[in-house]
Amino acid sequence: MRLVTVISLVGLFSIARSQVQDNEPPNSCNVVCNCNSDKWADAQSTGPIAPQGSPGKRGPAGERGEAGSKGAKGEPGIRGQKGATGREIKLSDVLRAMSANSCQELSHTYGIEETGYYLMLDRIRIRPLYRYCDFMRYTNVERCEDLFTNSNVKEAGYYLLGIAGDEFQFCSPSFRGLYTCRDLQDRHEHITESGYYNFTPTDSDPYRVFCNFSQNEVITEVRHDITGERRALPECESAGCFEATPTYELPETAIRKIIENSASCRQFIKLKCKGVTLNGYAWWVSKDGRKMNYWGGSTKKGYCACGETNTCIDNSHKCNCDINSGSNITSDEGYLTAKNLLPIKQIRIGDMGGHNEDGWYVMGKLECFGRA
């Protein structure tokens, strides 16, 4: 009985397979094969088909195809409106201004007549600076003081005053609430022109002072009438018999305000000597009238700069001049930096009575930096 059943099942399977094959179109695969007779036979002999494996590594990239044709040009956008600015600054104007050294040269050589700030080249220090040039002629104004009170002018710069002449004059308005040149540049960064500026502090009278913008630091300079190196005349022998008293451009109240509102101040002093000694014979006088017996570059009593650094010609002395040589010219020099003692009120020199004794001195301007 079992054998008959098996034979019957084999026969039915053969009939069913024959029918399926008769119904297949030529060269086609059914849903359980992959059109590969060998794989189909393997599947029949080994059982169910194994799941598909992960893809292999990607092969090398093929050669790049030819670039496509350029697309059509897009429509132009809407043009923006011109802003409400001043005159257009042309590159040619900028280059011409940089090659000029004055407002007069801008006007006469390059034909520029538009009032404003120009970037010029400072040929002395080889650096750029901004210079304000006003090319309008103010025929009814002779002085800078009247320019800012009688005309609608507010900038510090160069102006043509009077009815004749083509020389530009530097004029400055009065800057209120300011004390030093550092204050000025902090509030008006475009001002880089060295010159005299007017200040109107809130707690003192107005004053006019020179601002030096040519250095790395802004310097407020208080000048006086003793300039350069001078000979100590007349000849005299007693201690401090010669005196040099400067007249400063500003009153004491204005100088005090500048010093109080600055971070630091200094003043250069020098004695060049031949047979003249400093010790006991020469000194400088502080602003409050005190006799100061140390020299520039030092702060110690009886010392000069070389004495503090141990670099004097003869280290048994604290100053070069104290060698008191009648055949050699030596010097002592440096900056005084004590704010409470500046500016120098007077220089006193003696020991110059002999035929081979001589002295020369230099008293620099007061220079103040930074903000207190």
DSSP 61-75: PPPPPPPPPPPPPPP
User: Which residues have C-beta within 8 Å of that of residue 94, sequence separation ≥ 6?
Assistant: 119
For the cut 60, the answer to whether the pLDDT of residue 154 exceeds it is yes
Six token digits for residue 269 = 């002093």
User: What 3-state DSSP class applies to 31?
Assistant: coil
Give the C-alpha separation, 45 to 68, whole Å.
54
Contact 207, 199 (CB under 8 A): yes
CB atoms under 10 Å from CB of 344, counted, come to 25
Query: Measured between alpha carbons, how far is residue 184 from residues 129, 144, 214, 318 in Å?
Result: 16, 19, 15, 42
Give the C-alpha separation, 218 to 124, whole Å.
18
CB atoms under 10 Å from CB of 135, counted, come to 17
Six token digits for residue 234 = 């007349």
Q: Which domains does the chain have, with CATH numbers?
A: 90-171 (no CATH), 225-364 (2.60.120)
Contact 169, 161 (CB under 8 A): yes
pLDDT at 175: 94
Six token digits for residue 101 = 């050294």
pLDDT tens digits, one per residue of 101-128: 889 988 888 888 899 988 887 766 567 7
DSSP-H helix ranges across the chain:
2-23, 37-46, 91-99, 103-108, 144-150, 181-187, 252-260, 305-309
- Using only C-alpha atoms, the chain has a radius of gyration, in whole angstroms, of 47
pLDDT at 173: 93
| 335 DSSP β-pair partners | 268
**What dihedral angle (degrees, nearest 10) is formed by the CA atoms of 106, 107, 111, 116?**
70
Per the prediction, the chain carries an average pLDDT of 82
pLDDT at 126: 63
pLDDT at 238: 96
pTM: 0.69
The H or E element containing residue 209 is strand 207-212
**Using omega within 30 degrees of 0 as the cis cutoff, is the peptide bond preceding 128 cis?**
no
Residue with tokens 């189909």: 40
pLDDT tens digits, one per residue of 5-62: 333 433 433 444 444 344 444 444 333 334 444 443 444 444 455 556 666 666 666 6
User: What 3-state DSSP class applies to 292?
Assistant: strand
Class of residue 335 by CB neighbours under 10 A (exposed 0-12, middle 13-18, buried 19+): middle
pLDDT tens digits, one per residue of 156-208: 999 999 988 889 999 999 999 999 999 999 999 889 889 999 999 988 899 99
pLDDT at 42: 46
Contact 337, 266 (CB under 8 A): yes
pLDDT band of 69, cuts 50, 70, 90: confident
For the cut 90, the answer to whether the pLDDT of residue 94 exceeds it is no
pLDDT band of 145, cuts 50, 70, 90: confident
Give the C-alpha separation, 352 to 321, whole Å.
12
pLDDT at 3: 36
Looking at per-residue pLDDT, the higher value among 122 and 89 belongs to 122
Mean pLDDT check: name the lowest of 115-129, 171-185, 214-228, 321-335.
Answer: 115-129
State the average pLDDT over residues 302-307: 96
Query: Measured between alpha carbons, how far is residue 327 from residues 275, 355, 357 in Å?
Result: 7, 11, 9
- The closest alpha carbon to 344, from 276, 285, 270, belongs to 285
State the average pLDDT over residues 238-249: 97
Give the C-alpha separation, 254 to 201, whole Å.
9
Terminal alpha carbon distance of the chain: 124
